[in-house]
Amino acid sequence: MNTTIPGRAIHHIYWFAALVLIFFSDVSADDETGWSGTPFVEPPAWKEEAPGLPAYPENDRLLELPASLPGYDFRVFIDPESLSVGGDRVVRYTLVIVSSSGVRNISYEGMHCGKHEYRRYAYGSGEKWFPIEASSWQRVSDIGMEHYRYVLYWDYLCSPLRPNLDAESMLRRIRNTSGPMLHD
């Protein structure tokens, strides 16, 4: 009497046992995979954190961004002390734009990398911040005077290859480049 189980039958028994284990296993949401065995549930809607205003920018600590174009007679700077990434994943920073005649435009802004949008929170003048009430998110554009923000988005703050950069990594990207890395 032959009591051996053919190879094919063993294969089926293994598959059946695996399915039984998966079906009856007690997988909780606390395991490494995060799988709870329940149907997909929409994540909570994104909510922006209330931004606080940073210290007013000091000239001696500004970093220049190589974000110029032919016919664009402005120099663009970022204050490294103001650069942060919030829990809402918005990158916030102080931007200083200086014209060829020395006129300065200072703003505190946020960039939502996942949505390709930016928002202004305040303008600076006379060493003081002036909050902008109810500013809206706007699309980052590479057209005309907005080109510097496009370069800031693609080359320094929002990497499509590494979407969760921290502020220090962003600052390294700004300090270690002599020009735009992805877009001219």
> Which region among 10-19, 21-30, 56-65, 169-178 has the lowest average model confidence (pLDDT)?
21-30
Q: In this model, does residue 129 exceed pLDDT 60? A: yes
Taking the whole predicted model, whether its pTM rises above 0.85 is answered as no
Any idea where the domains of the chain sit in the sequence?
A: 59-175
Per-chain mean pLDDT for the chain: 79
SS3 1: coil
Q: Using an 8 Å Cβ cutoff, are 114 and 99 in contact?
A: no
Q: In this model, does residue 68 exceed pLDDT 80? A: no
**pLDDT classification of 50: cutoffs 50, 70, 90:** confident
φ, ψ of residue 35 in degrees (nearest 5): -80, 130
